[in-house]
Structure 1
Amino acid sequence: MHSTSSKNRTHRAARAAAAVVAGALALSLTACGGDDKDGGKEDGGSGKESASTVTLPKLDGETLEVAAVWTGTEQANFKKVLAEFEKRTGATVKFVPAQDPIINFLGSKVAGGQPPDIAMLPQPGAIKQAVDKKWAKPLGAEALKELQENYSQGWQDIGKVDGKQYGVYYKAANKSLIWYNAKAFENAGAAEPKTWDELLTTAQTVYDSGVTPFSVGGADGWTLTDWFENIYLSQAGPEKYDQLAKHEIKWTDPSVKDALTALAQVWGKKDYVAGGAKGALQTDFPTSVTQTFTGGDQPKAAMVYEGDFAQVNITQAKADVGTDAKVFPFPTVGDTAPVVSGGDAAVILEDSKAAQALATFLASPDAATIQAKLGGYLSPNKSVDNAAYPNEVQRRMAKALIDAGDDFRFDMSDQAPQAFGGTPGKGEWKALQDFLKNPSDVAGTQQKLEADAAAAYGN
């Protein structure tokens, strides 16, 4: 599914906007000198608490279930948001751990007559499927009011199906970042690259210093789709990106060949990926991050690609964001640097006063501010005080996200039917895992991607 704004923007305008956003992001990230120590204040640096802005009903005795695939720190931090809702309303909220793909998990719950009240869906495609299956319920007037006050039109639109609002994008992600071990770069004399060719030069410089350039979490297929999407958006441009996302052009298109060929310059280069292809395919996303920031000045890899949420895992590696761990925007492969976003939307499955109240709370700056202070999180809610974020790197990322307004492209695989873009061992995830194993097979990978896409999209 596409936002209305994405449909209506012209190719030239989208390119220009992407260039502006990418430039601002590059400037903001490279300007970050280190972790801002005043972020230890309760509000992340401003010295004042954000005022409560949303009115919630009393819900004493009400019980709600919220399902999400979040684990570890991410889950623990979200539970603190739910605890505040409980405190304000008197309701009891239970977090239900879900498995990927969440649509399958929800299907079993619905079939058993026990759907959660709200599900946090990580794909617009999943929202559409929930609506098509008549599981999802539209948002009420209070939630809509919060959305309209606090979100850009683009973030509202990607939560809509057939013009009706079903999703509240509570969590956003900047998925166009590469994190690096500052000490490994310093020892190698490596510089932050701005273009794809410079990235390859930087990788060789790091390799020559005795450190493997890249860590890749290939056990999780979604990390591989994110690699592809950044290259494709920058190289092929926003218009083709939108067409491929809707399967209006085939995966056998020459533009896909070009992107896979570029990707093979990293994945196919001997000893450029920690553990080789076999090791990468056994490495999950959290490990791909932590192994980049442990081992002193001899980490398993110097760089790891992924979004702002990698900060949670960097912290688990006991590295400081902004000093030990630094970041640069995903390099320009074509005309402009890519700006790829992702996110998780709250969708009501069991309509009730309590469920609508929780959706309203999650659309408010009150909820997002709580999790913003805890780190490893970005909100598309433009009413969240930027000072709530705990360090300068994250504040600048949040500002770049809000300043982008509607000028972003949502994660392509998340827009696809779940069977193609969001299922372990199937579709795009599996095809790119196979490509990581054999990056010379560009044509075969394209054929497999097209066959799976045609089956999933029904065209």
Structure 2
Amino acid sequence: MMRRRTTLLTGCTALVLALGATACGGGTVEAGGDKSLDGSTVTVAGVWSGAEQENFQKVLDAFSEKTGARTEFVATGDNVSTVVGSKIEGGNAPDVVMVPQVGVLEQFAEAGWLEPLSDTARESIEANYAGVWQDYGTVDDTLYGLYFKAAHKSTVWYDPDALAQAGVRPPTTYEEMLDAGRAVSDSGLAAFAVAGQDGWTLTDWFENVYLSQAGPEKYDALAAHDLAWTDAGVVDALTTLGELFQDDRLVAGGQKGALTTDFPGSVEKVFGPAPDAAMVYEGDFVAGVAKDQFGRTIGDDADFFPFPAVGDGPAPVVSGGDAAVVLKDGANSEAGMALIEYLAGPEAAAVWAAEGGFLSPNKRLDLAAYADDVTRAIAESLVEAGDTVRFDMSDQAPAAFGGTKGAGEWKILQDFLRDPSDPEATAAALEAAAAKAYQD
């Protein structure tokens, strides 16, 4: 169930922002840059490292240049809730946290750790973001989170030469995709590299199939566990997915090979120096690995097509993202809120968009800000999907079910990849694990 439905503002909404404003025509009115936060320090915690952290630092530097505030970034690693909780207990809470999961945002809100977003931030978000992104940042009718960075998890990446040699074009339906995969197999390569060693990739496969087949209302109900995993729609989606998993012509190395392939390895199997497969399904972040680790040129020798429609359903758009929240216990939560207000406008998003490896759900961001045509097309798809976008289901679930290695949904779908012969039994196992996790 969605937490609330926000009515988007219509017409020309005048937003007078502390750090900048979006004009009625879509242009940006520059902030005064009056160094109003001189002497303040904003501490920001998040999971990012490497290039992501470096690029986010450029956003923080632009904020500092505008306001005079100093910024410090604290890397949390993957276990954000544990790290942030320990910092709060130790009296050293950051001012802003970039939260990577809806479930963690809800946990923080229910623990009383979060400041509701300011009127300025809320008005900017309502004007610049589809209602679905507002919903995912809201708990009990209070807006706490701004989704600054998004992921598009409905992209299938491929080697154009491999498809051309097989005489196939990027497909538009799931059945066409399997047929194209079989043609690729006949030409000498496996169709897909499946990263079964990482259970989270299998949840993404399931979510795309389920969203297309069952529709957004059932997707929302299943995500909230208002619908049992033994529902016929879940069994149908597992059956559809099992078609692919059990076909050794389609999966590089077969089921055993998939279970020993992690996510970076799956990208290497397609775009590395000795390819084993023509296609790899995962989010837009595949492009960064293909480019940075294997020297591929995105749009030339590495490209994507949208995850295709399954059966009579529409093509799915599954997303993920990082939400900026302000902690009550931060030493400078007022300056932290000013940072959120800055991040809510297109100016901040444009800084990272120019660097690559970034998508924004902000519909006021000029697509020309993105550095290449492929990223531009993915970003356009995300924004145009509007309220039909659905957040990664496993990221909405309790971690014991949707986010723990070797347990819950990850483990059960790995078992299903190993033996996809009994979708009903898999659905029953998923329901038993979900019931326990949601009860706890």
TM-score range (shorter-chain normalised) is 0.7 to 0.9
Select the residue among 376, 380, 383 that pairs with 2:361: 380
Are 1:227 and 2:205 counterparts? yes
Amino acid across the alignment from 1:325: A
Cα 1:52/1:275, change in 2 over 3 Å: farther
User: CA deviation digits over 1:14-61, x for unaligned, max 9?
Assistant: xxxxxxxxxxxxxxxxxxxxxxxxxxxxxxxxxxx9763586753333
Is the CA contact 2:43–2:73 (under 8 Å) kept in the aligned structure 1? yes
Residue in 2 that maps onto 1:2: 2
User: CA deviation digits over 1:76-127, x for unaligned, max 9?
Assistant: 2212212222222333322222233422332333333333222111222211
- Bigger relative contact order (CA 8 A; separation at least 6): 1
Residue in 2 that maps onto 1:370: 351
Kindly state the Cα deviation for residue 3 of structure 1 after the two structures are TM-superposed.
4.8
Select the residue among 402, 410, 420 that pairs with 1:421: 402
Alignment partner of 1:380: what SS? coil
Are 1:95 and 2:76 counterparts? no
Are 1:448 and 2:429 counterparts? yes
Is the CA contact 2:132–2:386 (under 8 Å) kept in the aligned structure 1? yes
Q: Give me the whole-angstrom Cα distance separating, in 2, the residues matched to 1:341 and 1:126.
A: 16
Alignment partner of 1:225: what SS? helix
Q: Give me the whole-angstrom Cα distance separating, in 1, the residues matched to 2:265 and 2:34.
A: 40
Is the CA contact 2:247–2:254 (under 8 Å) kept in the aligned structure 1? no
Residue in 1 that maps onto 2:170: 192
Residue in 2 that maps onto 1:311: 287
Are 1:179 and 2:157 counterparts? yes
Alignment partner of 2:42: what SS? strand
Kindly state the Cα deviation for residue 320 of structure 1 after the two structures are TM-superposed.
1.3
Amino acid across the alignment from 2:214: A
Please give the TM-score of this superposition, normalised by the length of structure 1.
0.84
Q: Give me the whole-angstrom Cα distance separating, in 2, the residues matched to 1:64 and 1:456.
A: 35
Q: Give me the whole-angstrom Cα distance separating, in 2, the residues matched to 1:246 and 1:318.
A: 41
Is the CA contact 1:215–1:303 (under 8 Å) kept in the aligned structure 2? yes
Cα 1:79/1:111, change in 2 over 3 Å: same
Q: Give me the whole-angstrom Cα distance separating, in 2, the residues matched to 1:70 and 1:177.
A: 22
Is the CA contact 1:69–1:100 (under 8 Å) kept in the aligned structure 2? yes
Q: Give me the whole-angstrom Cα distance separating, in 2, the residues matched to 1:90 and 1:241.
A: 44
Alignment partner of 1:156: what SS? helix
User: What aligned pairs does 1:264-413 form with structure 2 within 5 A after superposition?
Assistant: 264-270=242-248, 272-295=250-273, 299-316=275-292, 317-335=294-312, 336-349=314-327, 350=330, 352-413=333-394
Q: How many residues align?
A: 416
Kindly state the Cα deviation for residue 250 of structure 1 after the two structures are TM-superposed.
1.0
Cα 1:287/1:86, change in 2 over 3 Å: farther
Amino acid across the alignment from 2:306: P
User: CA deviation digits over 1:318-360, x for unaligned, max 9?
Assistant: 1111111121111211222112222211111226221111111
Kindly state the Cα deviation for residue 168 of structure 1 after the two structures are TM-superposed.
0.4
Residue in 2 that maps onto 1:430: 411
Amino acid across the alignment from 1:311: A
Is the CA contact 2:317–2:385 (under 8 Å) kept in the aligned structure 1? no
Kindly state the Cα deviation for residue 253 of structure 1 after the two structures are TM-superposed.
1.6
Alignment partner of 1:88: what SS? helix
Is the CA contact 1:368–1:379 (under 8 Å) kept in the aligned structure 2? yes
Are 1:73 and 2:28 counterparts? no
Kindly state the Cα deviation for residue 251 of structure 1 after the two structures are TM-superposed.
0.9
Q: Structure 1 residues 421-430 or 157-166, which shifts more? A: 421-430
Kindly state the Cα deviation for residue 368 of structure 1 after the two structures are TM-superposed.
0.5
Is the CA contact 2:114–2:144 (under 8 Å) kept in the aligned structure 1? yes
Q: Give me the whole-angstrom Cα distance separating, in 2, the residues matched to 1:443 and 1:241.
A: 18
Alignment partner of 2:250: what SS? coil
Alignment partner of 1:213: what SS? strand
Kindly state the Cα deviation for residue 146 of structure 1 after the two structures are TM-superposed.
2.5
Alignment partner of 2:410: what SS? helix
Amino acid across the alignment from 2:418: K
Residue in 2 that maps onto 1:157: 135
Q: Give me the whole-angstrom Cα distance separating, in 2, the residues matched to 1:400 and 1:162.
A: 30
Is the CA contact 1:224–1:432 (under 8 Å) kept in the aligned structure 2? yes
Select the residue among 69, 86, 90 that pairs with 1:108: 86
Q: 5+ unaligned residues in a row in structure 2: which ranges?
A: 8-26
Q: Give me the whole-angstrom Cα distance separating, in 1, the residues matched to 2:99 and 2:427.
A: 28
Amino acid across the alignment from 2:40: E
Is the CA contact 2:4–2:138 (under 8 Å) kept in the aligned structure 1? no
Cα 1:409/1:6, change in 2 over 3 Å: farther
Kindly state the Cα deviation for residue 72 of structure 1 after the two structures are TM-superposed.
2.9
Are 1:238 and 2:219 counterparts? no
Kindly state the Cα deviation for residue 436 of structure 1 after the two structures are TM-superposed.
2.1
Is the CA contact 1:101–1:423 (under 8 Å) kept in the aligned structure 2? no
Q: Give me the whole-angstrom Cα distance separating, in 2, the residues matched to 1:177 and 1:235.
A: 17
Kindly state the Cα deviation for residue 372 of structure 1 after the two structures are TM-superposed.
0.8
Q: Give me the whole-angstrom Cα distance separating, in 1, the residues matched to 2:34 and 2:436.
A: 45
Q: Structure 1 residues 339-348 or 140-149, which shifts more? A: 140-149
Kindly state the Cα deviation for residue 433 of structure 1 after the two structures are TM-superposed.
2.2
Is the CA contact 2:40–2:69 (under 8 Å) kept in the aligned structure 1? yes
Residue in 1 that maps onto 2:113: 135
Select the residue among 121, 141, 145 that pairs with 1:167: 145
Cα 1:352/1:233, change in 2 over 3 Å: same
